[in-house]
Chains A and B, each alone.
Chain A
Amino acid sequence: MKIKWFNVSAFMITTEKGVKIITDPFAYNYKPQLLPLPPNFEKNRPPIGEYPDVITLSHGHFDHSYVGAGNIKGVFKLYTGGAPKEYKGVKFSGVTAYHDPVGHNHHGFVTLNVIEADGIRIMHTGDYGQKRLYDEQVTQLGRIDIMMTAWGEWVPALIEQLKPKVILPMHHARIDDYMRGFKGFVDYTSKSSELEFAKAALPSEMQIIMLKQSMETNL
């Protein structure tokens, strides 16, 4: 399967059979209404413009759930969590978690979407921000091969609890000393935004692969 990073939390997973799944599409031409414009603001950013089979959403914020008006083309299925579903041979399941550290539940819930295709289990954490996963959540998530996550204080606990084989940092992630400190850190920021994965070829030791953004954004 191929995994391509657009920007923010939007990835496209293309399975061996050609099923396309897009995670958390962002508002491609978002303009803040009340705040001053950011310095590199550009009025006409291009949309994602792909024809996916399924869109998964982690939560309803507009940098994670914008499907309308030309951003996403065609007719597609939507998965936002709840009961596990299967579509075109790809399995979807979702585990509910908090957007913020527990006790500061300001933004409500997010869904940790787990996508199983070609024998690989991919988890997309959205804006997950708990200090640690609850044991129940770890059980429900099960084996995780590839983890897409924002880069923050929740990452060490996620690595310890889920033991993923590949981590793809996202959502304005920057290469920092913590990331460089890992033995399996791979910098693809000047090479490629798309990678190919196969179940048999997953690394035995954990890799952290920082991909190149294939789209610019105002977010």
Chain B
Amino acid sequence: MSGRRTFIKNLFALSAFSGTSMFSFKRDSLSRISSLGPAEACVMTNPDYAMGLSKGRVKIDYYGMSCFLITSDNGTRIITDPFFADLEILHSELNKEPADIVTVSCGHYAHCYIWSVGGMPYIYQVTEPTELNGIKFRGVATRHLTMSELAEQDPGDNIVMCFEVDKIKFCHLGALGHKLSDEQVKKIGKVDILMVPVGGVSTLPVNDAYEVCNQINPKVIIPMHYRSERCVLPSWATLNDFLKDKKDVVKFEPKGFNQITFTASELPSVMQIIAPDYPR
């Protein structure tokens, strides 16, 4: 067991080192970066930002699983659902990525590993509307309906996170396990960018995921929490299972490109699926 684990970890470490993603760092430089404030680190880690190319735009970086980093125009950094890497989740964990706010949708290891976040962030994991760093957060209570052994440890609550960054309304479904009720849809309200779990098994089935998208009717859908070469849970659905038979799909190539930038005026008028890649 331990030999296999070491092998997988080594394999993983090798591929992480040879990866070309500009958002992954070597371990040596981490202490330096984590000692910087969020704004300086943002400039350091994002060449576009340093050159002023992404000025005025909201940046969305995908890190794998349900973890996104959303950077507003003024450099406020929001991280959603940081995860814990183990034998099955081989994505590279956040490595003390500085943040101002971290949202946690549920208390499972793949959603609440806040040790991996740096800086001194607020942790938002409640349903009460709260304004943090000038951004209004609100949570909508839903259920996780998860695997039985996990349900024994945890009441199975999940919180759908809604917040607005630079006039773009975000909604992160966390580990939602069911279709939404009319009341929940009303509470979520208008959404521009929706992050939806599509892997099934521990979240809602892949077909229901698309129905939830239609219920909320956002302008952009970003699928997350699916099986891939870095998330090797055999019974989960893959990204292609979700994208099958869908129109208006933008799938990111080349591999390893994990950033999308937006302005409020650029959002598509028809519902579009955008699937960024994750760091490799």
Q: Mark A7-34, 1 if CB is under 8 A from B, else 0.
A: 0000000000000000000010111010
A–B pairs, 5, beta carbons within 8 Å: A68-B106, A73-B126, A75-B132, A79-B120, A82-B35
CB-CB under 8 A from B36, the residues of chain A are 83
Q: How far is the CA of A96 from the CA of B31 in the complex (A)?
A: 10
Q: How far is the CA of A31 from the CA of B108 in the complex (A)?
A: 13
Nearest CB in chain A: distance from B70 CB, A:
18
Q: How far is the CA of A211 from the CA of B30 in the complex (A)?
A: 37
In the complex, the answer to whether A69 meets B107 with C-beta atoms within 8 Å is yes
Say yes or no: A75-B126 contact (C-beta < 8 A), given A68-B106, A82-B96.
yes
A57 in the interface (beta carbon within 8 A): yes
In the complex, the answer to whether A68 meets B117 with C-beta atoms within 8 Å is no
Q: Which of B84, B108, B125, B154 has the most CB of A within 10 A?
A: B125
CB-CB under 8 A from B126, the residues of chain A are 73-75
Q: How far is the CA of A22 from the CA of B41 in the complex (A)?
A: 28
Nearest CB in chain A: distance from B171 CB, A:
19
Nearest CB in chain A: distance from B217 CB, A:
29
B235 in the interface (beta carbon within 8 A): no
Within 110-160 of B, Cβ neighbours of A (below 8 Å) are at 111-126, 128, 130, 132, 149, 152-155, 157
A209 in the interface (beta carbon within 8 A): no
B34 in the interface (beta carbon within 8 A): yes
Q: How far is the CA of A153 from the CA of B107 in the complex (A)?
A: 34
| Interface residues of B, dominant DSSP | loop
CB-CB under 8 A from A70, the residues of chain B are 107, 155, 157
In the complex, the answer to whether B114 meets A57 with C-beta atoms within 8 Å is yes
A65 in the interface (beta carbon within 8 A): yes
Residue of A31, A60, A71, A96 near B113 (CB, 8 A) is A60
Q: How far is the CA of A75 from the CA of B138 in the complex (A)?
A: 11
CB-CB under 8 A from B7, the residues of chain A are none
A215 in the interface (beta carbon within 8 A): no
13 further A-B contacts with Cβ under 8 Å, apart from A67-B114, A67-B123, are A62-B109, A66-B107, A66-B112, A67-B104, A68-B111, A68-B125, A70-B107, A77-B120, A77-B122, A80-B115, A82-B31, A82-B35, A82-B119
A43 in the interface (beta carbon within 8 A): yes
In the complex, the answer to whether B107 meets A68 with C-beta atoms within 8 Å is yes
Q: How far is the CA of A21 from the CA of B259 in the complex (A)?
A: 36
Say yes or no: A77-B123 contact (C-beta < 8 A), given A69-B155, A69-B157.
yes
In the complex, the answer to whether B152 meets A31 with C-beta atoms within 8 Å is yes
A76 in the interface (beta carbon within 8 A): yes
CB-CB under 8 A from A27, the residues of chain B are 153
A174 in the interface (beta carbon within 8 A): no
Say yes or no: A65-B114 contact (C-beta < 8 A), given A75-B130, A77-B120.
yes
B195 in the interface (beta carbon within 8 A): no
